[in-house]
Amino acid sequence: MDNLRLGRTSNLRKAFEHTEFSFFEADINDYETNLRRLRDFHARRPIDMVWHLAANSDIRAGALDPQVDFEHTFLTTFTVLRLMRALGLRRLAFSSSSAIYGMRPGLLDEDTGPCFPVSNYGAMKLASEGAVSAGLETHLERAWILRFPNVVGSRGTHGVIFDLLQKLRADPSVLEVLGDGRQEKPYLHVSELVDAMLFVVDRACERLNCYNIGTDGTASIVSWIAQTVIRAAAPGATIRYTGGAQGWPGDVPRFQYSIERLRRLGWAPALTSDQAIERAVAELLAERCEQG
């Protein structure tokens, strides 16, 4: 189920080839319509588990208009939990974010706290985690909270690589980079993110399972990302930094992410953060060539 606000049905071409796949274009927050739809579906094809990934994933959009994250990041979680309760569905995997931690020094692990997000997106993800936790006391049997880092890869609709490529398309001679270029964060390729999500849900069996998903101690510097994008898309372009430690209000310019709990479970990424960036740049450029 998706409202296609950021997605396209063409991305589901392979999925549509499977007879067991069903797709509903819908606003998840339309509770009454979705309850009728899912009740009928559940009667015919019982739903075993819910994967809730719906959110506004563009942090800057939420900074410009806080209603965006309230509706698309928190209210979607609240409505999914209502639907699950009404239908008797008891297992939930929820996509959370490193943005819940805010600006904290040192290594961020799952027990880091208290959490003070600096973005509306992070605040609504943290509120969503609370709603999921509370659901375990009333109607959920088991939940997995998966805290994503910065995710890159094909089909991107925003984010550092997408934005830089857009700017170079408009002007191949100069690349504007938000901030001072010294921001440093871990970037994970989307293929490894999906692999880790499936691994955690298959192996972690506590009532509440909370895991950071990320790179194994590696991170990428924004200035290096900009240079990598230029080499691939517009050799010879110069870089113009806007200045300041943050790229935009709500940006966490640097953090260190611990995945020790995930490693103990048995999963670690194959790619470093820089390798994930390089693969994502190549994928996005290839997709642009295909689209003309």
Quick check: is 124 in a domain? yes
Domain CATH number, residue 24? 3.40.50.720
The answer to whether residue 189 is domain-embedded is no
- Assess if residue 22 is contained within a domain: yes
103 assigned to some structural domain = yes
Is 107 contained in some domain?
yes
Provide the residue-wise pLDDT of the chain in tens; the chain has 292 residues.
999 988 889 999 999 999 999 999 999 999 999 999 999 999 999 999 999 999 998 777 777 888 999 999 999 999 999 999 999 999 999 999 999 999 998 899 999 999 999 999 999 999 999 999 999 999 999 999 999 999 999 998 888 999 999 999 999 999 999 999 999 999 999 999 999 999 999 999 999 999 999 998 899 999 999 999 999 999 999 999 999 888 878 888 888 899 999 999 999 999 999 999 999 999 999 988 777 6
Task: Yes or no: say if 65 and 74 are a contact pair by the CB < 8 Å rule.
Answer: no
If one counts the domains in the chain, the total is 1
Domain ranges, residue 108 = 1-148
pLDDT given at position 216: 84
Instruction: Please indicate, yes or no, if residue 248 is contained in any of the structural domains.
Output: no
- Return d(Cα 188, Cα 41) in angstroms, integer: 35
Give the contacts of 192 (CB within 8 A, at least 6 positions apart).
269, 270, 271, 276
DSSP bridge partners of 179: 243
Per-residue pLDDT, 292? 61
Asked whether residue 262 is domain-assigned, the answer is no
Residue 172 lies in a domain: no
The confidence score (pLDDT) of residue 291 equals 73
Closest by CA position to 241, among listed 178, 183, 290, 186: 178
